[in-house]
Structure 1
Amino acid sequence: MEIEVSKKESFIRQILKREWEFFQNVHHTEGRAECQDNPQEFEIMRRSQWETLPDEILESYLEDLILAKHRGENIVQDKYARMMKYSAPKEYEVIKNYLPEISQEKKELIQKIVKIYLHWEEEIIEKYPKLTAKGRPLHSKYDTPNYTSIETYLKGELSSYSIKTLKLYYEYIQNCVSNNINLAENNLENIVLEKGYKTIEEAEESL
């Protein structure tokens, strides 16, 4: 007997399935990346993020993935390619003209979202220094070709969303700010719960 899943869980499962398919077709200049052979870690990290968002955004992003496949585009590959602007600028110069152009409206939305999200990240770095030290560095100035910062990853990620998804996301983030909700902390909590801890505090104390 099949267990009925919620609308949100259905969206997340479809997103993860499509993202994983795209991720498998991402081509790196140095060959296949280790993380491409780790579906469990991929699911934990991506699911933890998607669970922080409402159905409306998930549905819109799922549409982005579906439309991208119909167009023969790999928006997950585009995401990583755009990160190279900061992590591998010389290589980025070679490929940048192959990427879809980003409108000024989209650039401004990305900038606003990144500013808020980095502030959230600063808050959790202060609250959970041991846990966050194990993750990505915060700012793009610390990027290397093999390791990208939260700022760079976020810019790449957001640039792969449609303008519709971005607008919904920005609206939701503004609501979170108004209600003192830190999405970066919610995301971190989801990750540690997925990894078997009962709370973020327990995970922090274990290090």
Structure 2
Amino acid sequence: MSEEKMTEEQENRLKERLIEQILEREWMFFQMVHHTEGRAECQNNPDEFVVMRKSQWETMPINILRSYLEDLILAKHKEINIVGEKYARMMEFSAPDEYAQIKDFITPISQEKKDLVNEIVEIYLKWEEDMIEKYPKLASRARPLHSKDDTPNYVSIETYLKGELSSYSVKTLKLYFEYIQESLNQGINLAKKNLENIAKMKGYESLEDVEKTLV
């Protein structure tokens, strides 16, 4: 059945199924990530993992979800842990000395992919700046915005985004870039939608509700 002929209810069910499959595969890859200091605490917290990842995927349309699910399936066939490589690429900014030792073991990415990542990040960071301005208490408890403020154990939004997006295929990135531009043109802030999803999953009515509860 084509997406054009689906009812809203059918689209919602399809989207939910795609997200469930994505989360299942991402969690599998996440469990295989090895840290130099041993297993990370977040690897033992599937509930928080689902909240943080599902909130993001719910902001995306079906065509991007399908494309990224294909990325995950292909990565498994190739025995590449793209979730592990996501975190490894973050080390280029947060732990450059360690990154220099492992970079040759990471799947290389094309200049086309780097350019797409940088264009998306530039737009997304402006959305994040808007969130910092509107919700300063909430922002004070989040990641720092820019890579210059990275530490080996705590990376910025910018660095996380670059690592995350670099794990997508060029096809998925192109679809996402188109969606980013459409959202921008329509005055939609996807960073806000992501945070709203997190807030609702944690039992809040709105971001304003979260902001009011913070000291």
Please give the TM-score of this superposition, normalised by the length of structure 1. Answer: 0.97
* Corresponding residue of 1:206: 213
* Corresponding residue of 1:163: 170
Q: Which of residues 126, 141, 150 is equivalent to 1:134?
A: 141
Equivalent residues in 2 for 1:67-78 (5 A)?
Answer: 67-78=74-85
* Corresponding residue of 2:66: 59
Distance 1:60 1:105 in 2: 18
* Corresponding residue of 1:111: 118
4+ residue runs over 4 A deviation: none
Structure 2 residue 202 is matched with structure 1 residue 188: no
Q: Which residue identity lines up with residue 85 of structure 1 in the other structure?
A: E
Q: Which residue identity lines up with residue 97 of structure 1 in the other structure?
A: D
Distance 1:35 1:134 in 2: 17
Secondary structure of the equivalent of 1:83? helix
Q: Which of residues 69, 86, 90 is equivalent to 1:79?
A: 86
- Give per-residue Cα distances to partners, 1:113-150, cap 9 Å, x unaligned: 00000000000000011111111100001100100000
Structure 2 residue 140 is matched with structure 1 residue 123: no
Could you tell me how far 1:101 is from its partner in structure 2?
1.1
Q: Which residue identity lines up with residue 31 of structure 2 in the other structure?
A: Q
Could you tell me how far 1:100 is from its partner in structure 2?
1.1
Distance 1:205 1:66 in 2: 42
Distance 1:132 1:32 in 2: 28
Q: Which residue identity lines up with residue 200 of structure 2 in the other structure?
A: L
* Corresponding residue of 1:32: 39
* Corresponding residue of 1:150: 157
Q: Which of residues 22, 25, 30 is equivalent to 2:29?
A: 22
How many residue pairs were aligned? 204
Q: Which of residues 15, 19, 28 is equivalent to 1:12?
A: 19
Please give the TM-score of this superposition, normalised by the length of structure 2. Answer: 0.94
Distance 1:143 1:200 in 2: 26
Distance 1:116 1:157 in 2: 15
Distance 1:132 1:41 in 2: 19
Give unpaired runs (5+ residues) of structure 2.
1-9
Distance 1:27 1:173 in 2: 32
Distance 1:23 1:97 in 2: 21
Give unpaired runs (5+ residues) of structure 1.
none
Q: Which residue identity lines up with residue 129 of structure 1 in the other structure?
A: P
Could you tell me how far 1:11 is from its partner in structure 2?
0.4
Secondary structure of the equivalent of 1:193? helix
Distance 1:164 1:29 in 2: 32
Q: Which residue identity lines up with residue 162 of structure 1 in the other structure?
A: S
Q: Which residue identity lines up with residue 50 of structure 1 in the other structure?
A: W
Distance 1:177 1:76 in 2: 27
Query: How large is the Cα RMSD of the aligned pairs?
Result: 0.9
